[in-house]
Amino acid sequence: MRKTSAKVWGAVLTAAIAVAVSLPAAPPAKTLASFDPQAKALLARMTLEEKIGQMTQPDQEYVKDLADLEKYAIGSVLSGGSSDPKEGNSLGAWTDMYDRIQQHSAKTRLRIPILYGVDALHGHNNVLGAVIFPHNVGLGCARNAALVEKIARITAEEVRATGIQWTFAPCVAVPQDVRWGRTYEGFGEDPALVQELGAAAVRGLQGEDLANPLAVLACAKHYVGDGGTAFGSARGGKGLDQGDTRVDEATLRRIHLPGYVAAIREGVGTIMPSYSSWNGVKCSASKRLLTEILKQELGFQGFLISDYNALDQLAPDFKEAIAISINAGMDMAMVPERYREFIAGLEGLVKEGKVPMARIDDAVTRILRVKFALGMMDQGRSQLADRKLQKSFGSAEHRAVARDAVRQSLVLLKNERGTLPLAKGAARIHVGGKNADDLGNQCGGWTIDWQGKSGAVTSGGTTILAAIRKAVGSATRVTFAKDGTGAAGAAVGVVVIGEKPYAEFDGDRADLSLAAEDVAAVNNMKAAGIPVVVVLLSGRPLILGEVLEKADALVAAWLPGSEGEGVTDVLFGDFAPTGKLSFSWPRTMQQLGERQAALFAYGYGLKY
Ligand code: BGC
């Protein structure tokens, strides 16, 4: 795999490859295909049922009887965004759940361990008490590949502490329209940036050798063009998420493909085809995209995992949908609830000659390669969780890296009359805004729950208000009113406003104007005649309108995660801002697509 096996696809793509080649890369110890002798020997011993079992991934939430794992020789299980252990959400319960499920694989005839997948997108974000890192939009502004790699390494360690060995990350989407509800999952609007940081994330997660017990299998997603869909092309004629990317092949390759080129060069073990379509054809149904481009041209040796229930969208008849996707090149199906139907359907299709046995063998070989590479097939190596790793789960050391990531991700957009940095010795600082004291809002979607939620969403972590209280000297009084009233007499006001958590299609917005309560909080603060610092927490640029005029200083802090002290490091001058916009910032909704008319251009960011 890597650049030697990637064919040259013509002038446009050559440029993309050239960028990829210049990336620093430590090639993995072994290519995935080097495990073929073992994988093929095992394949030769498998029945059709056992092969199909390897290709099946239910969500633990819907496996009511765990004996199904043995009965169907299931190859993989996932926890979707809100799929917690039935005992509740804690580090112990997650680990027990993983162990309980893994123990069932040992009872199958061939004892092939179960690969457990989860969305660890900004830390091990489903698990209470995990460190929550900034979402990718912020990391794109930090422009620091070494930092992304370090974050991915720590995330891998926290994931492994629960036994899990696979994350559906990194998202290498290149969002082209910030109305998209998944904008924050992408590193930025520029393919070169996404390519560089996506590669760093794969390196950090997988390490140099997947067999390392601290390595976690990565998954580049959502292949391909998920960030390029046309507004109004999504289901029901609304929004962007899961819609249609209407661009020619050269554009698709130039904007949306480079992230995958780089991830494959890094040895990424899995790729998730997108729900979205390319010129009317669902990516998850496209042989051209999955087999011809990804596997044949780019030489991808790992396996493809379908998105959650994505097969359901390919045809009204489920069995037909299975045939379309598997024949297109899908290797494993994420069928959270319909796993029995998938198994019966695929078995039928093979027996009827509608899915060739060679396709099944290719899919299973790819899955087994990855399991061998991960050391999962090593005799005598326990597949149960190594609970010693739990010592550093959510540790101060891990939080320090997250705090550093927060301060590097902040972008200073305005700073009049040297408003920032703030003095730590001011007599009184008045804080306002709905996001000032809300850990859930600062973490965003994909935090504990799929959609995220407002409030004290997880344990550990510091809100921005709490961080301000910690940062100032003992002589400073910090007062707080959510609506920004009562500021009179304060030396300065800090208003923390922006979005509330959302994920995927729920975050698609036709209008990105600030909420009325946010504008009111800034106005109330300003009415006291004091300098006002606005901190915006959001998954994308929002239309600032009059708030830009009212603010004396304005900081885009994105979705910083659990470590609010990274924000105060910048506010109080302990860390001078270095962040640069990873998206161009529109002035009005009308000018959304006109990057030359941007209020702040891509790459903008002030220093003080
Ligand atoms: C998302 C994926 C995610 C999967 C599993 C889907 O809804 O599109 O990004 O990996 O769920 O949770």
Atom of ligand 1 nearest to the CA of 334: 5
Contact by Cβ (8 Å): 76, 397? no
Atom of ligand 1 nearest to the CA of 171: 9
From CA 241, how far away is CA 217, in angstroms rounded?
26
User: From residue 45, how far is each of 40, 109, 430 by CA, in Å?
Assistant: 9, 11, 70
Report the separation in Å between the CA atom of 196 and the middle of ligand 1, taken as the mean of its atom positions. Answer: 23
Atom of ligand 1 nearest to the CA of 222: 9
Could you give the 3-state DSSP secondary structure of residue 380? coil
Report the separation in Å between the CA atom of 292 and the middle of ligand 1, taken as the mean of its atom positions. Answer: 24
Domains of the chain: 36-392 (3.20.20.300), 410-597 (3.40.50.1700)
Q: If you average pLDDT over residues 585-603, what whole number do you get?
A: 95
Q: What is the pTM of this model?
A: 0.95
Greatest alpha-carbon span in the chain: 80
What pLDDT score was predicted for residue 29? 58
Report the separation in Å between the CA atom of 263 and the middle of ligand 1, taken as the mean of its atom positions. Answer: 19
* Residue found under tokens 């729900």: 275
Quick one: tokens of 228?
Answer: 């390029």
* Amino acid found at 80: G
Is a pLDDT exceeding 60 seen at residue 578? Answer: yes
Positive or negative, the CA dihedral 338, 339, 341, 346 is positive
Q: Please say if 347 is a catalytic residue.
A: no
Q: Whose CA is nearest to atom 8 of ligand 1?
A: 307
Q: Whose CA is nearest to atom 5 of ligand 1?
A: 80
Contact by Cβ (8 Å): 422, 571? yes
Q: Whose CA is nearest to atom 12 of ligand 1?
A: 80
Q: Please say if 504 is a catalytic residue.
A: yes
What pLDDT score was predicted for residue 28? 58
Q: Whose CA is nearest to atom 4 of ligand 1?
A: 308
Q: Which of 448, 457, 531, 520 is nearest to 491 (CA)?
A: 531
Laid out side by side, the sheet with 270-273 consists of: 219-223, 270-273, 303-304
pLDDT tens string 124-151: 999 999 999 999 999 999 999 999 999 9
Report the separation in Å between the CA atom of 51 and the middle of ligand 1, taken as the mean of its atom positions. Answer: 24
Is a pLDDT exceeding 70 seen at residue 7? Answer: no
Q: Which of 43, 107, 54 is nearest to 77 (CA)?
A: 54
* Protein residues with CB under 6 Å of any ligand 1 atom: 80-81, 119, 168, 221, 307-308, 504
Rounded to 5°, angle at Cα 199 from 194 and 202: 125
Q: If you average pLDDT over residues 257-279, what whole number do you get?
A: 98
Quick one: tokens of 497?
Answer: 């406003």
Q: If you average pLDDT over residues 415-438, what whole number do you get?
A: 98
From CA 395, how far away is CA 130, in angstroms rounded?
8
The residue with greater pLDDT, 22 or 372, is 372
Categorize the per-residue pLDDT at 593 as very low, low, confident or very high, splitting at 50, 70 and 90: confident
Q: Whose CA is nearest to atom 10 of ligand 1?
A: 168
Q: If you average pLDDT over residues 402-424, what whole number do you get?
A: 98
Report the separation in Å between the CA atom of 337 and the middle of ligand 1, taken as the mean of its atom positions. Answer: 14
Contact by Cβ (8 Å): 229, 244? yes
Q: Whose CA is nearest to atom 11 of ligand 1?
A: 308
Could you give the 3-state DSSP secondary structure of residue 595? helix
What pLDDT score was predicted for residue 26? 52
pLDDT tens string 26-37: 555 579 999 999
What pLDDT score was predicted for residue 424? 97
Can you give the three-state secondary structure of 502-563, one letter per residue?
CCHHHHCCCCCECCHHHHHHHHHHHCCCCCEEEEEECCCCCECCHHHHHCCEEEECCCCCCE
Report the separation in Å between the CA atom of 221 and the middle of ligand 1, taken as the mean of its atom positions. Answer: 9
Q: CB neighbours (10 Å) of residue 574?
A: 14
pLDDT tens string 82-121: 999 999 999 999 999 999 999 999 999 999 999 999 999 9
pLDDT tens string 232-256: 999 888 999 999 999 999 999 999 9
Residue of 226, 307, 438, 569 with catalytic role: 307
From CA 578, how far away is CA 94, in angstroms rounded?
37
From CA 276, how far away is CA 234, in angstroms rounded?
8
Q: Which of 61, 62, 82, 119 has the most ligand 1 atoms within 8 A of CB, as the residue to mutate?
A: 119
Query: Which segments of 311-395 does DSSP mark as H helices, in order?
Result: 318-328, 339-351, 357-373
Long-range Cβ contacts of 524-527 (<8 Å, 24+ apart): 524/432, 524/483, 524/484, 524/485, 524/487, 525/430, 525/432, 525/484, 525/487, 525/493, 525/495, 526/493, 526/550, 527/487
What pLDDT score was predicted for residue 307? 98
What pLDDT score was predicted for residue 23? 45
The half-sphere exposure of 422 on its side-chain side, counting CA atoms within 13 A, is 33
Report the separation in Å between the CA atom of 608 and the middle of ligand 1, taken as the mean of its atom positions. Answer: 40
From CA 382, how far away is CA 160, in angstroms rounded?
13
Is a pLDDT exceeding 80 seen at residue 223? Answer: yes
Q: Which of 59, 116, 168 has the most ligand 1 atoms within 8 A of CB, as the residue to mutate?
A: 168
Q: Which of 327, 360, 374, 340 is nearest to 51 (CA)?
A: 360
Q: Which of 308, 446, 505, 508 has the most ligand 1 atoms within 8 A of CB, as the residue to mutate?
A: 308
Atom of ligand 1 nearest to the CA of 450: 12
Residue of 504, 508, 552, 569 with catalytic role: 504
Positive or negative, the CA dihedral 437, 420, 407, 569 is negative
Report the separation in Å between the CA atom of 65 and the middle of ligand 1, taken as the mean of its atom positions. Answer: 24
Q: If you average pLDDT over residues 418-443, what whole number do you get?
A: 98
From CA 158, how far away is CA 171, in angstroms rounded?
19
Q: If you average pLDDT over residues 350-379, what whole number do you get?
A: 98
* Amino acid found at 97: M
Report the separation in Å between the CA atom of 308 and the middle of ligand 1, taken as the mean of its atom positions. Answer: 6
Q: Whose CA is nearest to atom 7 of ligand 1?
A: 308
What pLDDT score was predicted for residue 30? 77
Contacts of 374 (CB under 8 A, 6+ apart): 115, 165, 210, 211, 215, 217, 269
What pLDDT score was predicted for residue 256? 98
